[in-house]
Amino acid sequence: SPCYFELPHVSPFVAQFRCYADLRGMQFAADGEEQPMRHATLGISGNHFWAARWPRTGTGRAVAREEEILRGLVADLFSGKLGRAAELAHLEKVMNVYFDNPEKQTKIWSIARHLANASMVLYLDVDMTIRPDSVDRGLVELLLEE
């Protein structure tokens, strides 16, 4: 949520990014929007999250019933009933397997949203800091030095 950027432990970093962007002639955007899709983790195997996804507008009984059916499918697959694996071919638009928690995909959605209106997007997390010696130098110059 956009309120996140106003929290006391976050706002100093946001102010630093905003200042850097202003000095470099860049557009700054603090994107706190939700993902356009709602994810439900159906099962976890090692680092792999089996998840279903629906548009945020689809949260009624039909989605709840579908989620229940998909949880059963994943439970069967995890228990070795591999004959049900063929069902996955019909679920390409609903199910994904992520290497990490699907809620972390917000970065990807945020970048995609901003790329629609820009030729380049630089994504920085609020837990990053800007090198003090970079204020007077451009980002491209600093990246080329590395």
Read out DSSP for 20-36? HHHHHT-------PPPS
Q: For position 60, what pLDDT does the model report?
A: 79
Find where tokens 């990053």 sit. Answer: 128
Tens of pLDDT, residues 30-42: 776 666 677 788 9
Q: For position 34, what pLDDT does the model report?
A: 67
Tell me the pTM: 0.55
Instruction: Specify the amino acid at residue 14.
Output: V
Find where tokens 């090198």 sit. Answer: 131
How many Å is the Cα radius of gyration of the chain?
20
Torsion angle of the four alpha carbons 67, 72, 73, 77, in this order, in degrees rounded to the nearest 10:
140
Q: For position 126, what pLDDT does the model report?
A: 59
Instruction: Pick out the chain residues at pLDDT < 50.
Output: none
Q: For position 82, what pLDDT does the model report?
A: 94
DSSP state of 144: H
